[in-house]
Amino acid sequence: MIQFMEVRVAAVYPGAPMMVDAMVAGTRVTAEWVGPRPAAGDVADVELGIDEVLKWAHSIAVDGDQMTLREGPLLRGTVEIQEQDRLTVRIAEGLAEVEVDDLSGDVPFGTAVALAIGHLKLYPTGT
């Protein structure tokens, strides 16, 4: 989860689950909205959920090497912490803890990475 990420809602789609287009860290994404229905143009603080295991060279890469990544919006950030099968990545003003399939290589603090995200969930914090 990323704590306290500010997003701007661009469009809201009918149906369940509720889907929105939103600007997240300068990237337009389509995401599941988990909370009270927003309106287009709303700005909200959210937690952003990435509910998948990221795979090196498929859904996560060192920034600049993202040519191998699957199609989809790219969130960019820098590595804060590497531990076992998890990376903590700073994206804009938030920190995201993501699970990765293999951390056999060393990913040092400050390394720029790109994340190709499939299914995002936005949880409004109400603040």
- pTM as predicted: 0.84
93-105 pLDDT, tens digit each: 888 888 898 766 6
89-94 LR contacts (CB < 8 Å, sep 24+): 89/113, 89/115, 91/2, 91/5, 91/25, 91/115, 92/5, 92/25, 92/26, 93/4, 93/5, 93/6, 94/2, 94/3, 94/4, 94/5, 94/25, 94/48
Please give the residue range of the domain that contains residue 86.
Answer: 2-124
45-87 pLDDT, tens digit each: 998 888 889 998 899 999 888 788 998 889 999 999 988 788 8
pLDDT the model gives residue 68: 83
Count of domains observed in the chain? 1
pLDDT the model gives residue 102: 77
| Confidence class for position 29, pLDDT limits 50, 70, 90 | very high
